[in-house]
Amino acid sequence: ETTDEISRIFDALCEPITYKAHRVDVSVSMGVTVFTPGTGELTEILREADIALYKAKSDGRGRWAYYDAILGAAHASRLLLEAEVKQAIVERQFLLHYQPRIDLATGRIVSAEALVRWHHPKRGMVSPGEFIPLCEETGMIIDLGRWVLEEGCRRAIEWDKAGLDMAISLNLSPRQFEDPSLMEDLAGFSALPGFPHGKIELEITEGVLIGSDDEIEHKLEELEDMGFRVAIDDFGTGYSNLAYISRFPVHCLKMDMSFVSQLPESGPIVRRILSLASQLKTLVVAEGVETPEQNRWLQEHGCDQVQGFYHQRPVPLDEFLAIVTERAR
Ligand code: C2E
Ligand code: MG
Ligand code: MG
């Protein structure tokens, strides 16, 4: 009954308006909560309605959502996480783990992907899946991402100075890529003494390139000029229109792990990705290699490099260096 009532109000609000002979379409998102006179504060009710409105919007807009205790709790824990991440950025509770990338022709570790971890004072090590999406949404990714880039660049400089022939890959989120301060930051890092040209790769996702314009093309060219390489992360999960990719200066395709995990059934599509990479003369890396069978299949079909638990999980810096040293012997 209440639901019918709400729908009636909602539908009425959605009606187009006529203004000076123009039809104006309106789109409505609505948050609903119940107020029992004599209980609670009005401000509390508005807060609840606002939380429900937020839910309606994040569910795709043009709809209404109802406030309940579960929604309230989810909102509270989100706020807590947001405050904690903010503090964590200031207190530098983040660190990078490194996952080796192996060249299939030589069996050597040629590169490392830096993956951010949050050393939470109470919860211990928290994985990026738990906070990167929130950081993306709130814009906190800009500060966190800048730290990752600086840390990664400094590491690459250090390795190069020490005579270690090791590339490094850093993840860039879409929001970070769009941020005007990114190019300035990267220009600064590339001007650091001892910056190793061509040794630092930036991973972006396909979404960044889709429907894009000259501005993005220009940005990628600028990155190349600064001495960064560009990789497409999770390649194959976005769009199957492959034409767009030849437009851009891309150095590496990182095939998404969903293709690798379905080998050999996914063989035809993996073959197509490999042949595309060879036509474009880009390096191709398979992610998420977990079994010797997957590794062999990829080796036999001309994949350049692999990364995955079969070879090594992401590990802290000192452990990564120990593995590299051990292997060199
Ligand atoms: P990604 O860039 O695609 O990184 C690969 C993810 O796959 C990592 O998860 C890695 O631990 C995991 N992985 C590697 N090998 C295997 C395997 O054999 N099997 C399986 N099942 N998983 C494997 P992680 O570290 O949890 O990172 C998740 C995502 O978080 C990353 O996906 C990346 O999108 C994002 N991320 C991590 N660090 C950063 C960062 O510094 N900045 C930004 N913007 N995003 C980051
Ligand atoms: Mg990545
Ligand atoms: Mg990936």
Model confidence pLDDT, tens digit, residues 42-52: 888 999 999 99
Q: What's the gap in Å between 48 CA and the centre of ligand 1?
A: 35
Q: How far apart are CA 154 and CA 114, in angstroms?
A: 12
| pTM reported for the whole predicted model | 0.88
Please, is 237 exposed, middle or buried when counting C-beta atoms within 10 Å of its C-beta (0-12, 13-18, 19+)? middle
Instruction: Give yes or no for residue 115 CB within 6 A of ligand 1.
Output: yes
Best mutation site among 132, 185, 254 for ligand 1 pocket (most ligand atoms within 8 Å of CB): 132
pLDDT tens, position by position, 153-202: 999 999 999 999 999 999 999 999 999 999 999 999 999 999 999 999 99
The half-sphere exposure of 208 on its side-chain side, counting CA atoms within 13 A, is: 26
Contact 281, 247 (CB under 8 A): no
Instruction: Give yes or no for residue 308 CB within 6 A of ligand 1.
Output: yes
Atom of ligand 1 minimally distant from the CA of 148: 41
Ligand lying closest to the C-alpha of residue 206: 3
E strand or H helix at 298, and its extent?
A: helix 292-300
Instruction: Give yes or no for residue 182 CB within 6 A of ligand 1.
Output: no
Question: In the predicted model, is pLDDT for residue 284 greater than 70?
Answer: yes
Instruction: Give yes or no for residue 127 CB within 6 A of ligand 1.
Output: yes
Question: In the predicted model, is pLDDT for residue 212 greater than 80?
Answer: no
Atom of ligand 1 minimally distant from the CA of 136: 44
Please state, for a pLDDT cut of 90, what percent of the chain lies above it: 79
Contact 188, 216 (CB under 8 A): no
Give the type of residue at 177.
F
Question: In the predicted model, is pLDDT for residue 322 greater than 70?
Answer: yes
Predicted pLDDT of residue 210 = 75
Ligand 1 atom 17 nearest Cα: 288
E strand or H helix at 117, and its extent?
A: strand 109-120
Predicted pLDDT of residue 326 = 92
Please, is 170 exposed, middle or buried when counting C-beta atoms within 10 Å of its C-beta (0-12, 13-18, 19+)? buried
Q: What is the mean pLDDT of residues 310-328?
A: 95
Ligand 1 atom 46 nearest Cα: 171
Instruction: Indicate if the alpha-carbon torsion angle 271, 273, 276, 277 is positive or negative.
Output: negative
Predicted pLDDT of residue 38 = 78
Ligand 1 atom 4 nearest Cα: 115
Question: In the predicted model, is pLDDT for residue 241 greater than 70?
Answer: no
Predicted pLDDT of residue 316 = 97
Q: What is the mean pLDDT of residues 243-247?
A: 77
Contact 169, 101 (CB under 8 A): yes
Predicted pLDDT of residue 37 = 79
User: Which of these ranges, 26-30, 34-38, 102-106, 288-292, has the smallest mean pLDDT?
Assistant: 34-38
Predicted pLDDT of residue 131 = 94
Best mutation site among 85, 95, 102, 115 for ligand 1 pocket (most ligand atoms within 8 Å of CB): 115
